[in-house]
Amino acid sequence: MKILINPQHAAPLPQPLPADLTLVRQPALRTGLAISILVGLLIPFIPCMLLSFQSMVAPRASVGQDETVPWWIVFPVFMVCVVVHEFLHLICHPGGGRSDQSMVLIWPRRFQFGVYYAGFMRRSRWLVMRLAPLMGLTLVPTLLMLADPSELSFFWRQFVVLVIVVNGLGAGSDVVASVIVAQQVPAHGEIGIWNGRACWRVTP
């Protein structure tokens, strides 16, 4: 794994596409962003609806349900979601994120970081990698809350709900990208980046 501080985005160089590669067709930037935002808004709706329905049908008392959750809790929840979200992407890379092709990109002044894989990976692994945060931070917590939310205090229950919502909002682009790849790339294909563009190839 390599850690890069303030990496610069180099402009793609004009060069012919290698014969064994096919570019992944993507919507225009604004269209893709709009679709990702819309999907991100819809994702948290489902778990919130399920949890609300459960609280109406089978209300359960929880410890500290009269306490007030401070507004500033949104900030640590956001940080936790970002860090764990990217970590789940990373550990799904080939080699569990320990390969030299796994990059952690950090921009300290912007309080921003992300992960990136410089090589190719199987379509199935790529889809798992892309959807891992949605599963780990939205689906699994929702199922655990539905199973028995009374095990958590009121404060931690609201904390988990915020994690579900915040991560769901951020997972919109992951879901959109996964649908695009699942539609275009054959099951035995590999996904990678060429000249700054997502592409795929078929391996023997």
Average pLDDT over every residue of 152-178: 89
Residues 3-24: pLDDT tens digits? 888 887 766 667 888 899 999 9
Average pLDDT over every residue of 71-76: 86
- Tell me the pLDDT of the chain averaged across its residues: 88
Residues 73/86, Cβ–Cβ less than 8 Å: no
C-alpha to C-alpha distance for 8 and 110, rounded to whole angstroms: 13
120 pLDDT exceeds 70?
yes
Q: Model pTM? A: 0.87
- Strands in 112-117's sheet, in edge-to-edge order, are 2-5, 102-107, 112-117
Burial class (CB in 10 A: 0-12, 13-18, 19+), 62: middle
Phi and psi of 96, rounded to 5°? 65, 25
In this predicted structure, what is the pLDDT of residue 39? 95
Average pLDDT over every residue of 66-70: 70
- How confident is residue 150, by pLDDT bands cut at 50, 70 and 90? low
Structure tokens, 176: 């959109």
C-alpha to C-alpha distance for 192 and 174, rounded to whole angstroms: 15
- Listed in sequence order, the residues at least 6 apart from 44 whose beta carbon sits closer than 8 Å to its beta carbon are 138, 164, 165, 168, 169
Q: Around 21, how many Cα atoms within 13 Å sit in the side-chain half-sphere? A: 16
Residues 32-46: pLDDT tens digits? 999 999 999 999 999
Ordered DSSP codes for 177-197? HHHHHHHHS-TTEEEEEETTE
